[in-house]
Chains A and B, each alone.
Chain A
């Protein structure tokens, strides 16, 4: 069965610093992978998705993710974090979505 693992429960960064959130997947074939963000009081929002092709995927809000088959990873990155990025981030596989346990991002001014 497909699954994703997010090793980091909680990450704290300073505003303006770079960010990388880790996601490892377990799937035999080429996986489809998603990153979602859940802000307080708001619904889950799709940040980006990988289906095939270019392994570097651009998403909304300045986020990107890189698919690395050799490492079974699909890490989310942002070069400069803003205070509004503080939220819970989930990696997921389709199609009835299977989510990881999430990483809570805290941003300090």
Chain B
């Protein structure tokens, strides 16, 4: 079946602009995670959803970052007033449910470049 998909695959934007990154999870997966991977680093947790609600947003770096999942499926990560330090690969993952026994399946990521 289809895996996790993310669009766009690449996004170049100017400093100060607003961007939206989209994640389509595997059908039926109730948990959805966002991570950020900077160059030469491992992915860092940003936020996860259980259904429509953000269960844990403790990894969001500041209030310029926001994510939604209005219908419990597709999620959008929104970044306002982008800064050059936001440049990274943003990864999305989904799992059947929340919990360590449920494998997270990752999408290919969106590479964000802020110029």
Contact = CB atoms under 8 A, between A and B. Distances in A.
Nearest to B92: A43
A44 B106 CA distance: 6
Nearest to B48: A96
A97 B104 contact: yes
Contacts of B48: 96
A46 B100 CA distance: 13
Chain A binding surface, main DSSP class:
loop
A51 interface: yes
Interface stretch (A11-19, A63-71, A72-80, A99-107): A99-107
Residue from the set A95, A100, A101 with the largest chain B CB neighbour count within 10 Å: A95
Contacts of B100: 32, 51, 94-95
Contacts of A95: 98-100
A54 to B, nearest CB: 16
Interface in B26-77: 33, 35, 40-45, 48, 56, 59
Looking at chain A, what size class is its interface with the partner chain?
20 to 34
B103 A102 contact: no
Given A43-B3, A94-B100, A99 B109 contact: no
Interface of B: 3-4, 33, 35, 40-45, 48, 56, 59, 91, 93, 98-101, 103-109
13 contacts: A32-B100, A43-B4, A45-B106, A46-B104, A90-B42, A94-B100, A95-B98, A96-B33, A96-B45, A97-B104, A99-B42, A101-B41, A101-B42
